[in-house]
Amino acid sequence: MGRIVIIGGGFAGAAAAIKIIAGSSGRLDLTVVEPRERLGRGIAYATANRDHLVNGLAGGFGLHPEDPGHLVRWLEEHAEKLGWTPPAGTPCAVSSPPRAVFGAYVEHELDRAIASAGERLRFTHLRDRAIDFDGEVVTLASGARLAADRIVLATGLFRKEPAFVTRALAQSRAYVRDVFDTDALTSAAGAKHVLLLGSGLTMLDAVVSLETRGFRGAYTAVSRRGLLVQARREAEPWPDMFADGPLPKTARDVLRRVQRERRQLAANGEDWQRLPPLFRQYAAAIWRQLDTGERAKLVRHLGSFWNLVQHRAATPSFAVLDRVRGEGRFQNLAATITALEPAASGARATLRPRGERQALSLDVDLVVNGLGFEFDWNRLKDPLVRNLVAKGFAVPHPLGSGVRADPDTLALVGRDGRVSTRLFAVGHALRAEMWEASSIREQLDHAIRLAKVLNRAGLMIGEAA
């Protein structure tokens, strides 16, 4: 009986396990290496704050595309027992459940898949970390070694650590590295002014957490472009701009198409949020036919805006920020921080506003890292990542995000240019190969595709059950 090892037990790893189990037809030995006690949570869905919501509507986030109403029915049956009900008068399907509740759903579905497989499945959750791989054996932080026929990298998210934060500040109570660390946020109790690094969804999580704790001081958010997170509005997709011709083959053509449709939307008084759902339908197909140079251009000109328009906030979460802005307590700056160090007040930031030569200083009581996550495998300090790269099993993608992989099989491409028959990836590691690999929908697609690849190749079929 062959063994499949999934490294990482967050959403992508749990979804892969669910689909691999469902797609197998014989005896299966499946191990998930994940240090957390509960699978399916990762960083995003492990938060205990019930005001941290899934950034979309429940009707679109089920684990079973063949059964679109599955999550909604599950919520109607289980969510109240978990301490959540939709807002009064709002159907469950058009509500945004807490991420903790969604994590419980993923965990429940994994448990159900394991139980349904019965004796043909040997499932193991190892609470450990993978730190090395020699081509045949995975080494764990505990010193244990796992022989594996197929390894699935579901390594998840790695926090972005800004270089301008001094060690002294990082070790002080004036700096919060993790917005989901409830103990660290106790430092906000006496604060009057908080500096937020970043202006996206992680920054919004920080504001929601602080407001929930009773903070009523001022915020200054700083990011290079000053692009502030947007609220999600459910809008019908814009008429298909690609229906009457071939897909664009250059970054310039893509940008021209998008800009043309944006102008048309504005001229018609339409909501710009009708455009992202349409573009998303074609994004992967357009991306696949662009060469590396054209992809780099598209990332440079459209990447930040895509993250802004695609990864929008749930309406209730954004309402918190909207209230804070209405009270005059929120300032959003487009600037580059050049230094951040301890000060009498807590911390002092030196920053240069975009388009200006003169630097300015800003004294704050607390600094919260809301920059999000690092995707460049050349910069990651994780031992497994470093060893995979050093040994040539993984190649950091030239676009600076994730690894080289075959988009059809999700198998890694090694330094020798060969497609691996042993190493596969799902989730964030495929970001540069797939254009979009951060959302539930895309990561679920990875899991489904991988299960089919393994099944077609006979990699999950052992002796008859």
How many Å apart are CA 127 and CA 97, to the nearest integer? 28
Sequence letter at residue 5: V
- The angle that helices 70-78 and 99-117 make with each other, rounded to 10 degrees, is 100
CA 438 remoteness from chain centre = 4
Sequence letter at residue 208: V
pLDDT of residue 78: 96
What torsion do the CA atoms of 419, 420, 426, 427 make, to the nearest 10 degrees? -60
How many Å apart are CA 154 and CA 177, to the nearest integer? 23
Other Cβ atoms less than 10 A from the Cβ of 248: the count is 20
Show the tokens assigned to 65.
């595309």
Show the tokens assigned to 386.
């470093």
The alpha carbons of the chain give a radius of gyration, in whole angstroms, of: 23
Domains of the chain: 3-52+98-159+375-456 (3.50.50.60), 167-230+312-371 (3.50.50.60), 251-310 (no CATH)
Among 232, 183, 178, 186, smallest CA distance to 205 is for 178
pLDDT of residue 462: 42
Do 367 and 176 contact (CB within 8 A), yes or no? yes
pLDDT of residue 464: 33
pLDDT of residue 438: 87
Give first-to-last CA distance, the chain, whole Å.
Answer: 11
Ranges of H-type helices in 24-88: 70-78
Phi-psi region of 417 (alpha: psi -120 to 50; beta: other; left: phi over 0): left
Q: In angstroms, how far apart are the furthest CA atoms of the chain?
A: 72
Residues 6+ apart with CB under 8 A from 78: 104, 105, 108
pLDDT, averaged per 10 consecutive residues of the chain (465 residues), comes to 89 98 91 97 90 91 94 96 92 94 97 95 97 96 95 94 89 91 82 95 95 94 94 86 84 91 92 88 90 92 84 93 97 95 92 91 94 93 97 96 96 97 96 90 95 78 37
Stretch (H or E) spanning 349:
strand 347-353
Pairing, β 3-7 against β 373-374? unpaired
Pairing, β 175-176 against β 193-197? unpaired
How many Å apart are CA 86 and CA 131, to the nearest integer? 42
Place of tokens 């251009």: 297
How many Å apart are CA 140 and CA 122, to the nearest integer? 20
How many Å apart are CA 275 and CA 385, to the nearest integer? 36
C-alpha distances in Å from residue 77, one per residue of 71, 80, 105, 304, 344 = 10, 8, 11, 39, 52
Do 85 and 94 contact (CB within 8 A), yes or no? no
**How much is the pTM?**
0.92
pLDDT of residue 459: 55
How many Å apart are CA 101 and CA 256, to the nearest integer? 41
Phi-psi region of 346 (alpha: psi -120 to 50; beta: other; left: phi over 0): left
pLDDT of residue 372: 85
How many Å apart are CA 182 and CA 205, to the nearest integer? 12
What torsion do the CA atoms of 201, 206, 207, 213 make, to the nearest 10 degrees? 150
Phi-psi region of 89 (alpha: psi -120 to 50; beta: other; left: phi over 0): left
